[in-house]
Amino acid sequence: MRPGEIVLERASRSFSIRADRGRTLKELVLRRDHHGPAPVRALDDVSLHVQPGETVGIVGRNGAGKSSTLRVLAGIIPLQGGRAECGGQVVSLLELGAGFGRDFSGRENILLNGALHGLTRAQTEARMEAIIAFSELGDFIDVPVKTYSSGMFVRLGFAIAAHLDADVLLIDEVLAVGDEAFQRKCEAQIARQIEAGTTLVLVSHDASLIERTCARVVVLDDGRVVFDGPTTAGMPFYHRLMGTEEVAV
Amino acid sequence: MRYRFLFEQMVRRELRQKYKGSLLGVAWYVVNPLVLMGAYYLMFGVVFRVVQYEDYPLFLMAGLVVWLFFSQSLLSAAPSLLDQGALVRKARFPRETIPAAVVTVQLVTFLVVLALLGIVMVAVRGTLAPALLAVPALLVALYAFVLGLALVVAVLHAYFRDVAPILSAALLPWFFVSPIFFQVDSITHDEWARRLLTWANPVAPFITAIRQPLYLGTLPGAGTLAYVAVAATVALVAGRALFARMQAELAVVV
């Protein structure tokens, strides 16, 4: 695998839907875990090959398997069939403040996130000032993050993700929370990283964001790839699928 | 050791969450065994007088701190993966750092209490003997033993939510059959009962082995030492193997 390369080969993954996700011993003992709704196929035979430096937008309805695809690529969820591989340092921004300790200050959370991505203390501290500057949090950086607004969370989260030397950057719908100025800053930063060879996979319902940042679009429906090609052809396909075709002016 | 820094950060995170908003903070960990020690001393040293050892409170305390480290570690490790669910679901990292951090936080407080106890022991009982040098090695073995079991209960509890309640129910009778407020020799003359109490309970040899140098200034027997070494190795190896096997689906089940 080259750094930045992504391979999904006939990837399949289903989830059983249930209120409590853990099983109880009763089920284990009685061997009765086949009741309840049938498992949902989140990824059904998905194949995808992304070259280093490509920008891929993943679109589709709610529940089409977009987020599952990202979590598989991030290595958080294992596949039940097929193969998934990402080359190099994979950095994911899947949820606002996912790896944050609420009682820690922004600065301490930068250390924690660096650690989660396998950096050493020295490597993380070397990036500290750049991350703080990018986040524009100012004095709030030394305040526990539980006092942050969601916009501040995304600033810090993206600032960290942007400074982890990603070869593959996986972003799930979180950028929309930031204000317009910060969104533009994020997009500019993403563009810089792409020029440097980073691969971007972006899940979003924001059609214009996809059009601005992604050259390639993958449309998922019911866990299957129904379109994979250039954005110019992909977005019209997506709109037709969603029944939201824009009326020609 | 690419994840040493991560481990350090997880321990800090655990510490912060634990002592959040408590006035006495770490001191609670000293208060808790002291109160228990007082209660058991009253119970077994004054009221029932089952056993009569010299400096009974110190004897009691030595066993009690080991037991508390063991039981508190397992009780807090069991739900640890669920407590850190947000992290497990959304980030990729070696998940064993979560229960390991929990146990390590318990270890720190245990060592503080043990050090205080050790000073009092040596002063009161005059046990400043070469046998004390064995204590650090015994503590390493105890840590490995508890860590191995903590990995097991943590990953099992993520899949089967009955594990933590079963554990907390089991720990109470387990406490009473462990040689904490008695020595096995002084409560029964039946050979089989003695053997059972001494060897069938994997915590018992650890309690005996750590207490003896402190309380008597002598080394525990070779059998006990061998048991401790084997139990620590088996628990850690088996715990890590089970965790490695079961951790893949954690992001889905927690």
Answer whether B110's CB lies under 8 Å from B207's CB: no
Total count of domains within chain A: 1
Q: Which positions in chain A touch B254 (Cβ < 8 Å)?
A: 21-22
Name the average pLDDT for chain B: 90
Q: What is the mean pLDDT of residues A31-35?
A: 57
Backbone angles phi, psi at A6, to 5 degrees: -130, 130
User: CA B153, B159, B163: angle at the middle one, nearest 5?
Assistant: 40
- Which tens digits make up the pLDDT trace of A62-84? 888 999 999 999 999 999 999 99
Q: Residue A125: its pLDDT value, please? A: 95
pTM given for the model = 0.89
Judged by average pLDDT, the poorest of A109-113, A174-178, A225-229, B51-55 is: A174-178
What is the SS3 assignment for A91?
Answer: strand
- Whole-number Å distance between alpha carbons of B5 and A113: 11
Identify any residues that bridge with A225 across adjacent strands, giving them in sequence order.
A220
CB contact under 8 A, A98 and B249: no
Q: Residue B17: its pLDDT value, please? A: 77
- Whole-number Å distance between alpha carbons of A69 and A102: 28
Sequence-distant (6+) residues with CB within 8 A of B202 are: B145, B231, B235
Q: What is the mean pLDDT of residues B180-191?
A: 87
Answer whether A127's CB lies under 8 Å from A163's CB: yes
**Would residue A173 count as lying in a domain?**
yes
Q: What is the mean pLDDT of residues A114-133?
A: 93
Please report, for the domain that includes residue A154, its CATH number. 3.40.50.300
How far, in Å, are A44, A77, A80, A175, B222 from residue A83 at the CA level? 12, 12, 9, 29, 52
Residue A135 pLDDT greater than 80, yes or no: yes
- Structural domain including A179 reads 6-242
ipTM of the complex: 0.83
CB contact under 8 A, A75 and B159: no
With residue B65 as reference, give the H or E element that holds it. Answer: helix B56-77
**Would residue A247 count as lying in a domain?**
no
Instruction: List the single residue in A112, A119, A121 with the smallest CB-CB distance to B13.
Output: A112
Backbone angles phi, psi at A171, to 5 degrees: -125, 125
Q: Residue A46: its pLDDT value, please? A: 93
Sequence-distant (6+) residues with CB within 8 A of A243 are: none
Residue B71 pLDDT greater than 50, yes or no: yes
CA nearest A90 in B: which residue? B92
**Would residue A42 count as lying in a domain?**
yes
Cα first-last separation, chain B: 27
What is the SS3 assignment for A113?
Answer: helix
**Would residue A248 count as lying in a domain?**
no
Interface test with A, best of B1, B2, B6 (most A CBs within 10 A): B6
**Would residue A249 count as lying in a domain?**
no
CB contact under 8 A, A115 and B89: no
Band of residue A117 on the pLDDT scale cut at 50, 70, 90: confident
Backbone angles phi, psi at A204, to 5 degrees: -160, 155
Answer whether B13's CB lies under 8 Å from B98's CB: no
Tokens 């019209």 correspond to what residue? A236
Answer whether A45's CB lies under 8 Å from A114's CB: no
Q: Residue B63: its pLDDT value, please? A: 94
The answer to whether the Cα torsion of B48, B51, B56, B61 is positive or negative is negative
Residue B251 near chain A (CB below 8 Å): yes
Amino acid, single-letter form, for residue B123: A
